Structure 1
Amino acid sequence: MAGLMLGAGGWVSNLIVYLIQEFNIKTINAAKIYNFVNGTITIFPIVGAILADSFLGCFSVIWFSSLISLLGILLLVLTAAIKHLRPPTSCQINGYSNTCKYPTQLQLAVLYLGLALASLGNAGTRFTIAPMGADQFHNPKHQGIFFNWYIFTMYTATVVSSTAIVYIEDNVSWVWGFSLCAVANVLGLAVFLSGTRFYRVVRPQGSPFTSLGRVIVAAITKRRMSLSEKVEDYYGHDFDEKIGSKNPTPFFRFLNRAALRIEAPNDSAWKLCTLQQVEDLKTIIKIFPLWTTGLFLCTPLAIQLSLAILQALTMDRHLGPVFKIPAGSIPVFILISTSISIFIIDRLLFPLYEKLTKRPLTLLQRIGIGHALTVISMGISAVVEARRLKFVKYKNIENVVPMSVFWLVLQLAFAGVGEAFHFPGQVAFYYQEFPEKLKSTSTAAVAMFIGIAFYISNPLIDQIRRASNWLPDDINKGRLDNVYWLCCVLGALNFVYYLFCASMYKYQNEGKDADACNSS
């Protein structure tokens, strides 16, 4: 996994800078492309998870996606190496305006094809590795530990690529930087395949979504039938299931009709379902409100991630007289903060909390702390940006605001600590609470709301630009601080909504929660 993350992080982290400097794309448009790419990387794992659960298995999805990712990165190498695949980078100055040549349709086609393949390939591996790794363990405590270190490894590898490889891209050449991404991808795939004979491979059992669809169809088809109080009138009540309930539950009672026995035993499977299939659908319905809280948890983070890079491009990035921090490396502070925080949380805070309170921190409590820290991060972002705007009139000859880029560290560090709480907590929560047949899909469900959040961030940015002058292409002439305050308000409202949903939720596997969260 580390090799695959190294390969992906090297080109994703510096994408905004590459688009602005090498393809003459305007700043806000570059940020939107960056958000769209990140959205694709994080939303399409749901497709990989469905394929893994239903047809191919995690192992096949991972190695095939790695090849797709490699092909995309090689196309990016070509765009950097061949001059005809990108526009002239020098802009002519006519009076007070800059005239830049924008990429042709062919140049954009090659660029977007490379980004699409690299994004889809990364999506197929990024979260499918998590359930495959968890499948190697039987104990929920050990699975919880794995999820923590899975996030730690992913973030640490991205830290390395976002610093070392991005520095090479900025100071040596884009060709060398993208080539290193390709080499890391190849090495990661080779290491993964070398362990083939040691893996515990869970065979796909067919599409679990088909059975969920059958429940809805059967319940609608038999909507005129009266519900019975006798357990024996329901199909599947006598099966010895290891998970779920063998008896019909009162939640969404009308779905119980799908399991009502009918006169013709050989009738269509779309008219008769087991009680376990009904309970699996009810489990998804119960989780859905909590899942929606992830959308507006991650939307402000997506906006912060892209706009912080634009802020860094306008600030003093010198570290000493010679070294200059690449703008694309700024999000690394989130990754460093998350990685360090996960270690501290897992090894110090959780054991200390349990020792003091005599009970472990639940997964939903952990996620809630992440929500609160994210809101604080948005508030800090607004305050720092307001200070940066005060220095705008003191720009130097390079159009750089005389304010150190390290002012951005505090807001990114808070965002990273928040992720250390809510990200592993969300992955562990959905893996624990999803039906057994949907375990791979459970971790991809986290990726899905992150991806949708990146997609939501673009129309939100468009709406802000239409309704105000807060986000011009030159952010020095806008009010980015107001954008962050808006994100802070949205995050706070979402936090209240999360508290309500969490207070109403009852764990499906309550005995496992302590082990999964307090995994020390």
Structure 2
Amino acid sequence: MEENKNMKSFISDAVDCKGGPADRTTTGGWVSAALILGIEVSERLSTMGIFVNLVTYLIHTMHLPSATSSNIVTNAVGTAFLLSLLGGIIADSFLGRYWTITASALIHALGTCMLAISAAPKLRPPPCDPSSSGVCGEASKMQMTMFYIAVYTIAVGIGGIKSSVPGFGTDQFDQKDEKEKDEMAQFFSRYYLIISIGTLLAVTVIVYIQDHVGRTWGYGICAASMFLAVFAFLVGTKRYRYKKCVSSPIIQILQVIVAAIRKRKAELPSDDSFLFEKSSPETSIPHTDQYSWLDKGAIISSRERGPDGSTIRNPWRLCTVTKVEEVKMLIKIMPIFATTFLFWTIHAQMLGYSVAQCFTLNRSIRSFDIPPASFNAFYIGSIVINLTLYDRIIVPFWKQSSKGAQGFTNLQEIGMGLFFATLGMAVASLVEMRRLYIVRVTRDPTTTLPMNAFFLVPQFILVGIGGTFMYTGQLNFFITQSPKGMKALGTGLFLTTTALGFFGSSILVTVVKKVTGTHGWLTPNINNSRLDCFYALLAVLGSIDLGLYMICAGRYKAHPVENADKPNSGKV
């Protein structure tokens, strides 16, 4: 009896820090999850505190043009999210999540320290000389080189942290235990809440310190918080549950494609039961007819038959039906992937041009001047409020009035995210038209304009509402519709849409500058630009993208296995 009780306390698919079976009474749970979330709090505090206020630093301290400054920020953020895909592969296949988080957090802290040093007065260009008609000397190549090294070191750290923290946090809960399964569901909501709290602190407290105390102090506090979070994380080493590394999903995808190409001339059997399958009924995935050319990778040819009739398996020539179907599932979600990253291109404007707009307007409340970057608090606040209203009021009401319906499906949430983001850009264009009219009336583009910065709040709120639906809809869709053995890749695809959106912003800015010319829509000084036309262009592109997305979402059919598990995930 005592032996059976002890056996139940061990978790079959997790180990402790020494490599032995993990004991649920001494490992995992909320204490472990809280220590892991500490890394995420610090990452959000540092990352958002730095990047949300970086455009104003580049324009007014490093004396770079507004379009160049915006592109520098979007490229750095895009690189960080793109590296999350690589970080997930490294964590799942080589280092493990614990060591990936530890190394990435230290790299992030190191980059933040370097940025704090680069912000010292002697390592940045001198202030503008009022006697030189407002002409300012741009940062030197050496100053920009040190800046780039610091920022992209931070980006490497972000990639490793964001790819591993959610997975390592959920590793602390056993899905086979009903109590811990419920706790894991709570972990996701608390994880998103932690992101929002960290971001709110970043765009208010950290930004205020940067603008009123000094950049070096602001960045130094970010670095110190990360070092403290790493120390707390390492203290919990003995309490964590660890999962063993698995084979790379990228290798599996390549194996299926190579095997199908090698047998491209083979005839598919009329009965799919003749295709190769050795997975157990519990883990196998039923065969589907879509993308049938991939099925050729599961054909057993004479080269895979041994002398005794047994199957000789080379994964680069013969794959199971389950492996083939997993690749099919990834291909099916690609149209959704391709039509959702424009939202993040719009989101990038909240960190770039919208902050630059705030800088030109009256931001005073009595004697207090609100930092321009702190207007992103309205973006984050709208996310928190909308998420709370949706979870606490709308979904419970929906369940009662619609016989247990769970609320909007993931695809519907993504569509709503695109709609609100597009609406936000349309409103932003109208507000910018008003701001440019005041610029023309005052005839002095160098002074603070007699227009209240709170006129910009609606565009922050609308894009923030869109962010609520897009973030939760995309993340849940890519995780639930990805194969069970490729959940990390699903998370990576979600983060990659963010990266492509930020890179798309940089490309769009570059194209618009070349097409409209030196004195066109995006000039070095936004008071001489036509930012209203740029926002209108984004609204038009958003409308087109929304239409394409609705077509793709309408044609999407969830895989039978995944659809059974998540009935709302693949419906429009």
Distance in 2 (CA, whole Å) between partners of 1:419 and 1:242 is 37
Question: In the TM superposition, what is the alpha-carbon distance from 1:477 to its structure 2 partner?
Answer: 1.8
Q: Which residue of structure 1 lines up, in the alignment, with residue 419 of structure 2?
A: 372
Structure 1 residues 46-55 or 284-293, which shifts more? 46-55
- Equivalent residue number for residue 289 of structure 1: 335
CA contact (8 A) 1:128 1:444 kept: no
Q: Letter of the 2:382 partner, please give it.
A: S
Alignment of 1:410-421 (within 5 A): 410-421=458-469
Q: Select between 468-477 and 278-287 the one with higher mean Cα deviation.
A: 468-477
Is 2:536 the partner of 1:485? yes
Letter in 2 for 1:86: R
Cα deviation for residue 215 of structure 1 reads 0.7
Partner residue in 1 for 2:402: 357
Once the 2 structures are TM-superposed, how far is the Cα of residue 340 of structure 1 from its aligned partner? 1.9
Note if contact 1:147-1:424 (Cα within 8 Å) is conserved in structure 2. Answer: no
- 1:513 Cα deviation after fit: 2.6
Secondary structure of residue in 2 paired with 1:399: coil
Q: Distance in 2 between matches of 1:395 and 1:40?
A: 40
| Cα distance, 1:171 vs structure 2 | 0.6
In structure 2, distance between residues paired with 1:340 and 1:191: 30
- From 187, 191, 195, the equivalent of 1:146 is 187
User: Do the aligned partners of residues 413 and 250 (structure 1) sit closer, same or farther apart at CA in structure 2, a change above 3 Å counting?
Assistant: same
Structure 1 position 511, deviation (Å): 3.2
Q: Are the aligned partners of 1:148 and 1:342 in contact in 2 as well (CA < 8 Å)?
A: no
Distance 1:122 1:269 in 2: 34
The partner residue of 2:75 within 36, 55, 66 is 36
Partners of 2:492 and 2:424 lie apart in 1 by 26
Partner residue in 2 for 1:174: 215
- The answer as to 2:345 corresponding to 1:299 is yes
Give the distance between the partners of 1:57 and 1:515, measured in 2 at CA.
32
Q: Structure 2: which 5+ residue stretches go unaligned?
A: 1-39, 305-311
Alignment-derived partner of residue 346 in structure 1? 391
Which of 265-274 and 428-437 deviates more? 265-274
2:122 paired with 1:75: no
* Cα displacement string for residues 396-449 of structure 1 (whole angstroms, at most 9, x for unaligned residues): 796111111111111111111111111012111111111122111211211111
1:126 positional shift: 2.2
Q: Aligned AA for 1:197?
A: K
What is the rounded CA distance, in whole Å, between the counterparts of 1:372 and 1:144 in structure 2? 28
Q: For residues 135-193 of structure 1, give each alpha carbon's deviation from its aligned partner in whole angstroms, at most 9, with x where no partner exists.
A: 44428876554333322211220110111011011111111111111111112222333
How many Å separate the matches in 2 of 1:291 and 1:134? 24
- Shift of the alpha carbon at 1:33? 0.7
Deviation at 1:34, TM superposition (A): 1.1
Structure-2 residue corresponding to 1:459: 507
Quick check: 4-13 or 214-223, which moved more? Answer: 4-13
Looking at structure 1, the residues matched to 412 and 568 of structure 2 have their Cα atoms a distance apart, in angstroms, of: 14
Instruction: Provide the residue aligned with 2:470 in structure 1.
Output: 422
Partner Cα distance (2:271, 2:197) in 1: 55
Q: Using the aligned pairs only, state the percent identity.
A: 30
Of residues 352, 376, 382, the one that matches 1:337 is 382
User: 2 CA distance for matches of 1:307 and 1:263?
Assistant: 63
Looking at structure 1, the residues matched to 205 and 227 of structure 2 have their Cα atoms a distance apart, in angstroms, of: 18
Three-state SS of the structure 2 residue aligned to 1:438 is helix
1:510 and 2:563 equivalent?
yes
Counterpart pick for 1:399 among 436, 440, 447: 447
Instruction: Confirm or deny: 8 A CA contact 1:367 1:422 kept in the other structure.
Output: yes
Which residue of 1 is the match for residue 457 of structure 2?
409
Query: Partners of 2:379 and 2:119 in 1: how far apart?
Result: 28
Letter aligned with residue 9 of structure 1: M
Contact 1:147 1:427 in 2 (8 A): no
Distance in 2, Cα, partners of 1:413 & 1:110: 35
Alpha-carbon distance between aligned partners in 2 of 1:330 and 1:18, rounded to the nearest angstrom: 16
Q: Output the CA distance in 1 between the equivalents of 2:281 and 2:201.
A: 46
Structure 1 residue matching 2:119: 3-state secondary structure: helix
User: For 1:142 and 1:242, how far apart are their aligned partners in 2?
Assistant: 25
CA distance in structure 2 between the aligned counterparts of 1:415 and 1:148, rounded to whole angstroms: 21
Unaligned stretches of 5+ residues in structure 1: none
Number of the residue aligned with 2:230: 189
Distance 2:420 2:436 in 1: 25
Counterpart-to-counterpart distance in 2, 1:167 and 1:297: 28
Q: Secondary structure at the match of 2:134?
A: strand
- In the alignment, which residue of structure 1 is the partner of 2:280? 240
- Distance verdict in 2 for CA 1:254–1:170, change over 3 Å: same
* Residues 515 and 283 of structure 1: CA distance in aligned 2, closer, same or farther (over 3 Å): closer
Q: Name which of structure 1's ranges 140-149 and 373-382 shifts more when overlaid on structure 2.
A: 140-149
Which residues of 2 match residues 8-87 of structure 1 at below 5 A?
8-81=47-120, 83-87=121-125
Gap change, CA 1:231 and 1:142, over 3 Å in 2: farther
Matched letter for residue 226 of structure 1: E
Pairing 1:205–2:246 present: yes
Deviation string, structure 1 residues 361-394 (Cα, Å, up to 9, x no partner): 2211122221211111111111111111121122
User: Deviations 1:103-126 (Å, cap 9, x if unpaired)?
Assistant: 222211111100110121122112
C-alpha distance in 2 between matches for 1:241 and 1:4: 42
TM-score by length of 1: 0.93
Aligned mate of 2:202, from 137, 158, 161: 161
Q: Say whether residues 1:308 and 2:358 are aligned partners.
A: no
Equivalent AA in structure 2 for residue 488 of structure 1: A
- Kept after mapping to 1: 8 A contact 2:409/2:568: no
Distance 2:320 2:445 in 1: 72
For residues 326 and 106 of structure 2, what CA distance do their matches in structure 1 show? 34
Does the 8 Å CA contact 2:249/2:489 hold for their aligned counterparts?
no
Given that residues 430 and 442 in structure 1 are in contact (C-alpha distance below 8 angstroms), is that contact kept between their aligned partners in structure 2?
A: yes
The residue identity in structure 1 corresponding to 2:523 is P
Alpha-carbon distance in 1 for matches of 2:274, 2:430: 63
Q: Is residue 340–residue 418 contact of structure 2 (8 Å, CA) maintained in 1?
A: no
- Distance in 1 (CA, whole Å) between partners of 2:435 and 2:456 is 10
Residue 437 of structure 2 is matched in structure 1 by 390
Match of 1:133 among 169, 189, 193: 169
Q: Is the 8 A contact 2:427 2:459 kept in 1?
A: yes
| Conservation of the 8 A alpha-carbon contact between 1:218 and 1:257 | yes
Q: Using CA pairs under 8 Å that are at least 6 residues apart, name the structure with larger relative contact order, 1 or 2.
A: 1
Please give the alpha-carbon distance, in whole angstroms, between the structure 1 residues aligned to 2:340 and 2:480: 17
The amino acid that maps onto 1:350 is: V
Distance 1:244 1:463, change over 3 A: farther
SS at match of 1:402: strand
Alignment length, in residue pairs?
A: 511
From the superposition, tell whether residues 511 and 194 of structure 1 become closer, same or farther in structure 2 (CA, over 3 Å).
farther
- Name the CA distance, whole Å, in 1 between partners of 2:314 and 2:260: 13
Which letter maps to 1:411?
Q
- Of 498, 501, 504, the match for 2:552: 501
Distance (Å, rounded) in 1 between the aligned partners of 2:353 and 2:386: 24
Letter in structure 1 aligned against 2:533: N
Relative to structure 1, is the Cα distance of residues 370 and 267 closer, same or farther in structure 2, using a 3 angstrom cutoff? closer
Moved more, 135-144 or 339-348: 135-144
| Separation in 1, partners of 2:154, 2:464 | 25
The one-letter code matched in structure 1 to 2:138 is Y
Q: Give the distance between the partners of 1:455 and 1:190, measured in 2 at CA.
A: 34
What letter is aligned with 2:137? K
